[in-house]
Structures are given as C-alpha cells and as structure tokens.
Amino acid sequence: MSNAPRHRTRIKFCGITRAEDARLAAALGVDFVGFVLVPGSLRAVSAVQAQALADSISRADGAPKTVALFQNAGADQIRGVLNVFHPDLLQFHGRESASFCSGFGRPWCKAVPMGEPQDYAAWEQEFASATALFADSHTTEGGGGSGHRFAWSDLPAAAKRRLPLLLAGGLTPETVGEAIRQVRPWGVDVSSGIESTTKGIKDHRKMRAFVDAVRAADEA
C-alpha cells in the first residue's frame, strides 16, 4: 500500500450573497468563498456587503479565504473596493493584463475564457506571477457563472501545467467527481451548480452534496 499523501482538491464557492451561505461554506471546510464585485451581475455585492459577509465567518486558522472577483474594472474602482473590503485573493475575470493584476499588492488569479479556443500554455506564460489560473467556460466577451461546461480535454494534462488550476464552468454535485478524475485540478470552483432557482441564493443541500462528491473523488 502506498504511503503517498492523498491529493486534496481545493473547493471554492463563488457568488456568495448571504451570511448563512458563507457560514455553511466555512462549516463544510470549503477553502475559498468568492464575492462578485461586478456591477450589474445578478450575484453582485457591494464592498460593504462583501466585508460584512467575510466578517460573518470565522477568521481562525482553517477558515475559508475570501476572494474578490472583478471584471474589467478600472484601477480606481478596485482600489475603492479594497479600501472597504479586505480579501485574501483577487480574481480577474476580464481582459486585464498581468501587470494590471499585479498592481494592487495582493495575491491574485486570472480566469482563462475556455468558451473559445485558447493556447493555455501561453496564458500560463503571460500570467506566470498569478497564484493560480481559473479555467472557466466563459468567452472574452462574457463572465462566468453561466452553468455551462467546456471541453475538459482542451486543457493540458496535469503534469504539463505550470500553475495551479481551478476548474470552473457547469460543475454540479453530479459532475464534479468525474471532472476531478479527468482533469486532476488543484481546485474546483462552483457557483450556479449549488444554487436554488435564484442566482446568488445557495441551496444548502447542494452545497453539502458538492463537498461530499469532491471528497469522495479524492478518496477514490
């Protein structure tokens, strides 16, 4: 029997808008909770709301790290948010350059729009200073959270990746196990797949089932 440590897939719940959902994510041992700071998004929260939601969960060791998601926001807009909300990680989901993403003094990650053909290795090279890359099903013209998946076979094999990969796009409690087996991501990111019929309102049964499915895939 091998004594090699078992891989632990990180989990990010995105589009959190309610304190009860943030608290359950923390209780379930989720690694990241994401807040959408994109005006006009159906899951958008203000900087004040994001900080209040972050404050609603324990900040002790092992608590989820907080993520602020931006899309094509101006530097002044982002700095204004960061004067109020103090996330652990920034997530850029638009056409931001690597130098722009690096300009706020915080760890950051970048979403790759896998809804259209991409040279993934080129993204890894351009955004080499990112903490991680998100492979999502959006295109360069639209954001994530669509509930649709892309062709996982378009991603390079795990052994060929230079940066940690978080897989997103159409993941549900029913599909995430197969996604982990096929892609071997560092982490998985879910929003619509754990929601009720209303965007931004999480379904607690689906939240639990998603975490259970990830852990079962890791055990297997």
Positive or negative: CA dihedral 8, 19, 21, 67? negative
Burial of 157 (0-12, 13-18, 19+ CB in 10 A): exposed
Alpha carbons 87 and 78: distance in angstroms, whole number:
12
Residue type, position 165, single letter:
L
119 in active site: no
Alpha carbons 6 and 143: distance in angstroms, whole number:
33
Phi and psi at 79, nearest 5°, equal -60, -35
61 in active site: no
Contact 155, 135 (CB under 8 A): yes
DSSP string, 123-156: HHHHTTTSSEEEEES--TTS-S--S----GGGSP
> Which entry of 21, 31, 136, 189 is annotated as an active-site residue?
136
CA angle 56, 60, 64 (to 5 degrees): 65
As annotated, the active-site residues are: 14, 136
